[in-house]
């Protein structure tokens, strides 16, 4: 009766390979005793006890389904071409170790659970990887600008923001908030650039006015007027903060 209760009633996939082998061995031996016409009572009893022991000794196989799912998700994440080298290396390492554990016949549930957590942590890390696309565009825009076209002060501010932005861009561990901050500060530095003032026309006009006073017989009133204009112009030329409009 015990043989009938066991034979075909248990699923091999639900138990560890070792404990299942013990059950199969005990079951075959029990069947052999039953088929033996002259089996002694001690043989029957021993076979019965061995079968009971093997049945009671069955160990549930560890559930690998969650780890298998985590590996699938990690492999999908690896298809992302924007992954940093560090993130990709961590994901690949986690997947390799997880696959090795899945192929291990005697892997314990604790081992599978620990590996599941590691793979999922790697997946979460790559999902949280900062988006640097806007920062990259801002850096490219800043690098395309011509230093000679802007004032020294505003250009110095741009260079400082650009250097900081490049440092963040090259940091594989940079957070999204750090990336956003660097992008914002660089954008502000770009928009804050002031065009360098071209004084050549004004300088030419001053020289022309002075030459006019020297070369022409002007009335005192005209001379006074020109000298006043020249003084104002030279004042503007001497003003480092003078704008192009001035």
> pLDDT (tens digit, 9 = 90+) per residue, 172-197?
778 778 899 999 999 999 999 887 76
pLDDT band at 4 (very low <50, low <70, confident <90, very high): low
Closest listed residue to residue 95, CA positions, set 137, 126, 63? 126
Write the pLDDT tens digit of every residue in 205-224. 888 888 888 888 888 888 88
**What residue has token string 């000794």?**
57
Residues 23 and 11: their CA atoms lie apart, in Å, by 12
- Residue 104 backbone class (left: φ over 0; alpha: ψ -120 to 50; beta: rest): beta
pLDDT digits (tens, 9 = 90+) for 29-83: 888 878 777 878 887 788 888 888 888 888 777 888 899 999 999 999 898 877 7
C-alpha 76: how far from its chain's center? Answer: 15
Q: Is the pLDDT of residue 2 over 60?
A: no
Kindly report, residue by residue over 10-19, the tens digit of the pLDDT. 777 777 778 8
Structure tokens that stand for 47 in this block: 């076979």
pLDDT at 155 over 90: yes
Q: What is the pTM of this model?
A: 0.43
User: In the CATH hierarchy, which top-level class contains the domain 65-127?
Assistant: mainly alpha
Q: Where are the domains of the chain?
A: 2-56, 65-127, 133-191, 200-238
The model's confidence at residue 5, banded by pLDDT at 50, 70 and 90, is low
Beta bridge partners, 150, equal 195
Q: Would you state the pLDDT for residue 9?
A: 67
Mean of pLDDT values over 103-113: 86
Over the stretch 78-102, which tens digit does the pLDDT of each residue have? 988 777 778 889 999 999 999 999 9
What's the whole-number mean pLDDT along residues 23-31? 84
Report residue 121 as tokens. Answer: 């942590």
Task: Tell me the average pLDDT across 224-243.
Answer: 81
Neighbours of 178 (CB within 10 A): 16
CA-CA-CA-CA torsion sign (56, 61, 62, 66): negative
pLDDT at 121 over 70: yes
Three-state DSSP string of 138-194: HHHHHHCCCHHHECHHHHHHHHHHHHHHHHHHCCCCCCHHHHHHHHHHHHHHHHCCC
């Amino acid at each position: 009766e015990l043989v009938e209760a066991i034979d075909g009633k248990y699923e091999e996939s639900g138990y560890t390979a070792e404990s299942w082998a013990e059950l199969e061995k005990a079951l075959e031996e029990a069947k052999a005793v039953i088929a033996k016409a002259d089996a002694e009572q001690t043989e029957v009893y021993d076979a019965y006890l061995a079968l009971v022991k093997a049945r009671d000794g069955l160990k549930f196989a560890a559930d690998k389904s969650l780890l298998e799912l985590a590996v699938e998700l990690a492999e999908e994440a690896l298809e992302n071409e924007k992954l940093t080298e560090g993130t990709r290396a961590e994901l690949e390492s986690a997947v390799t170790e997880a696959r090795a554990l899945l192929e291990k016949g005697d892997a314990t549930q604790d081992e599978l659970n620990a590996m599941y957590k590691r793979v999922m942590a790697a997946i979460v890390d790559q999902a949280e990887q900062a988006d640097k696309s806007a920062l990259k565009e801002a850096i490219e825009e800043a690098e395309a600008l011509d230093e000679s076209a802007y004032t020294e002060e505003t250009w110095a501010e741009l260079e400082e923001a650009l250097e900081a932005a490049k440092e963040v861009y090259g940091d594989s561990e940079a957070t999204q908030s750090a990336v956003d901050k660097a992008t914002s500060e660089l954008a502000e530095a770009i928009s804050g650039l002031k065009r360098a003032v071209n004084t050549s026309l004004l300088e030419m006009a001053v020289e022309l006015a002075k030459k006019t006073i020297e070369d022409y017989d002007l009335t005192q009133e005209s001379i006074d007027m020109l000298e006043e204009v020249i003084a104002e112009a030279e004042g503007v030329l001497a003003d480092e903060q003078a704008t192009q409009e001035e």
